[in-house]
Amino acid sequence: MKVLLIKTVDTLGNPGEVVNVASGYARNYLLPQKLAVLATKGSLKMADTLKAAAIVREKEQNKAAEALAEKLRDITIPFTATADENGQLYGGIGEREIAAALLEKELEIDKKQIILDGHIKNIGEHKVQIKVLGDLVETITVKVEAQA
């Protein structure tokens, strides 16, 4: 089934592109989520408009992402947590806690953008990567200290 993409779909393409997908995928996901419309003569006429709008939107997103990456570049987030005598934390510091700490610094980052192999479970400085947009990844420092 041919559909015209209205929004970017990671596995398919960008707005304004006509793609051929399985009819079930179109009926059950793309159309109800308003990610695409059926590729008819009328909808194909708006393809160029969608492409132009997507290019403008992408430029704006890239500018905003670059500004956010610049703010993140030199950031250090301090945490205090209870730990044993070996420096092992009793709990862990995960994506949710890091996102909340960034929000306190007025940087709105979704926890899904934070790249961690596992929760931070040791005292010390840890480098954490944040996927800002697409391939743009910035590294922040998370400094964990033992609670007195």
Classify domain 2-62 at the CATH class level: alpha beta
User: What's the pTM?
Assistant: 0.69
Q: What 3-state class would DSSP assign to 102? A: helix
Q: Which CATH number fits domain 73-146: 3.30.1330.60, 3.10.430.100, 3.40.366.10, 3.40.50.10490?
A: 3.10.430.100
Give the whole-angstrom CA distance, residue 58 versus residue 26: 25
What mean pLDDT is predicted for residues 8-17?
86
The helix/strand/coil state of 55 is: helix
Read off the pLDDT of residues 31-75 as tens digits, 9 standing for 90 and up.
999 999 998 888 888 888 888 888 888 899 889 889 888 888 889
Q: Give the pLDDT of residue 115.
A: 92
Q: What local confidence, expressed as pLDDT, does residue 14 receive?
A: 84
pLDDT tens digit sequence for 75-124: 999 999 999 998 899 888 999 999 999 999 888 888 899 999 889 999 99
Where do the structural domains in the chain lie, given as residue ranges? 2-62, 73-146
- Give the C-alpha separation, 91 to 88, whole Å: 9
Kindly state the tokens that stand for 67.
């500004």
